[in-house]
Amino acid sequence: MRVLVARQDNIGDVLLAGPAVRAVAARADEVVLLCGPRGRSAADLLPGVDAVIEWCAPWIDPEPRPVDRAGVERITGELAGFDRALILTSFHQSPLPLALLLRLAGTPWIGGISEDYPGSLLDLRHRPDGDVPEPLRMLALAEDAGFPAPADTRLRVREPLPETDHLTGGPGYVVVHPGTSVPARAWPPERCAQAVRVLDEAGHRVVVTGHGDEKELTAAVAGEAGLDLGGRTSLPELASVLRGARAMVAGNTGPAHLAAAVGTPVVSLFAPTVPAARWAPFGVPLALLGDQSAPCRDSRARECPVEGHPCLSKVGADEVAAAVEVIASLPEVST
């Protein structure tokens, strides 16, 4: 049985699909993951994925390209030859545009979560239960489709990871990751820099990580007290760096889910623009900081709609450092 699993979002979204992918892989002969360009590097890290198809879906990407007939015909051709397909989506996304393309490609059986009437586009219209964490929401679809949940439902990455002690000086540090893809989710840079200094004064080695486009940010946050690795790691190398950490401090961003995938506790500076119950790091010791009842709650805002960004700016460096001490001493979470 050849199965297509689709998750067409960012790095974190693809990582959160991992338990569902492993469930499918346990019963399929081949699993192909359809992802967008923003999630491709994470797709290559997922256990159970045999091949990847990359396509920028114009109804999902935040900066979509114009719809092009040739492009649609090309991806429809690439989607031919699957026995089944599972379309994994966020609560605000529809599986129906992709289901239509899969029908045109000849896919005989398609499952997805849909609030809208799917007509003949879906064979399985799954209805999720309440405000469950995203990995379990996607896993429930896989189970409903006949793919039982794995014994371990935590996030995972493909092994082995590259060696990174030459970058970090060996394990036992705290990672501070100041960047986010959405500005409304970022802890202010000055607060991040304060946290680096406070953690350093408390005796921690501090490693600051970030994307290649964030080198100026990571340099400012690291200052004299932290080790700046901004732009110096691939995603597999970042996973290795995170595995060596006692804890990670980050906003609601893909690398926080990568930390969860390697078992590292997370202090999450979580803006309530999306529900933490669904999107907080899953399956590891967690300290959730930030005002979850702020006016921006559930707004999905990309830019903070409240002057001063109070939901996160009111969180102090001392509070974060105290949270690091707590979660770094907690036992591993079993799920």
- Domain span at residue 249 reads 165-328
Contact 6, 85 (CB under 8 A): yes
Give the C-alpha separation, 90 to 80, whole Å.
Answer: 24
Q: Residue 333: is its pLDDT beyond 80?
A: no
Lowest mean pLDDT among 20-24, 221-225, 250-254, 306-310: 306-310
Q: Are residues 219 and 296 in the same domain?
A: yes
pLDDT of residue 77: 97
Measured in degrees and rounded to the nearest 5, phi and psi for residue 123 equal -90, -30
pLDDT of residue 334: 60
Q: Are residues 12 and 134 in the same domain?
A: yes
Give the C-alpha separation, 146 to 83, whole Å.
Answer: 14
The residue that leads in pLDDT, 64 or 14, is 14
Residue 240 in domain: yes
Give the C-alpha separation, 332 to 335, whole Å.
Answer: 10
Average pLDDT over residues 328-334: 77
- Give the mean pLDDT of the chain: 95
Residues 6+ apart with CB under 8 A from 32: 2, 3, 4, 5, 49, 50, 51, 52, 53, 82
The pLDDT-based confidence of 302 (bands split at 50, 70, 90) is confident
Q: Are residues 84 and 174 in the same domain?
A: no
The residue that leads in pLDDT, 167 or 313, is 167
Bridge partners (DSSP) of residue 164 are none
Q: Per the structure, how many domains does the chain have?
A: 2
Residue 100 in domain: yes
Q: Residue 332: is its pLDDT beyond 90?
A: no
Q: Are residues 309 and 171 in the same domain?
A: yes
Q: Are residues 260 and 323 in the same domain?
A: yes
Q: Residue 130: is its pLDDT beyond 80?
A: no
Q: Are residues 86 and 201 in the same domain?
A: no
The pLDDT-based confidence of 297 (bands split at 50, 70, 90) is confident
pLDDT of residue 240: 98
Residue 152 in domain: no
Residue 334 in domain: no
Average pLDDT over residues 77-90: 97
Provide the strand spans (E) within 65-171. Answer: 84-87, 110-113, 124-126
pLDDT of residue 293: 84
Q: Are residues 93 and 24 in the same domain?
A: yes
- Cα dihedral value 167, 171, 176, 182, nearest 10: 80
Average pLDDT over residues 115-134: 92
Measured in degrees and rounded to the nearest 5, phi and psi for residue 36 equal -95, 170
Q: Residue 35: is its pLDDT beyond 90?
A: yes
Residue 288 in domain: yes
Residue 292 in domain: yes
The pLDDT-based confidence of 299 (bands split at 50, 70, 90) is confident
Q: Among 113, 144, 175, give the residue marking a domain's end.
A: 144
Q: Are residues 109 and 181 in the same domain?
A: no
H or E, element range at 43: helix 40-43
Residue 209 in domain: yes
**CA 115 to the chain's CA centroid:** 23
H, E, C per residue of 223-254:
CCCCEECCCCCCHHHHHHHHHCEEEEEEECCH
Give the C-alpha separation, 289 to 19, whole Å.
Answer: 26
pLDDT tens, residue by residue, 244-271? 999 999 999 999 999 999 999 999 999 8
Average pLDDT over residues 223-235: 97
Q: Are residues 181 and 105 in the same domain?
A: no
Q: Residue 301: is its pLDDT beyond 70?
A: yes
Q: Are residues 97 and 246 in the same domain?
A: no
Q: Are residues 134 and 176 in the same domain?
A: no
Neighbours of 174 (CB within 10 A): 28
Residue 272 in domain: yes
Q: Report the candidate in 19, 18, 60 with the shortest Cα–Cα distance to residue 37.
A: 60
The pLDDT-based confidence of 331 (bands split at 50, 70, 90) is confident
pLDDT of residue 296: 86
Percent of the chain with pLDDT over 70: 99
Q: Mapping DSSP to helix (H, G, I), strand (E, B) and coil, where does residue 263 land? A: coil
Model-level pTM? Answer: 0.96
Q: Are residues 58 and 189 in the same domain?
A: no
Kindly report the CATH number assigned to the domain that includes residue 43: 3.40.50.2000
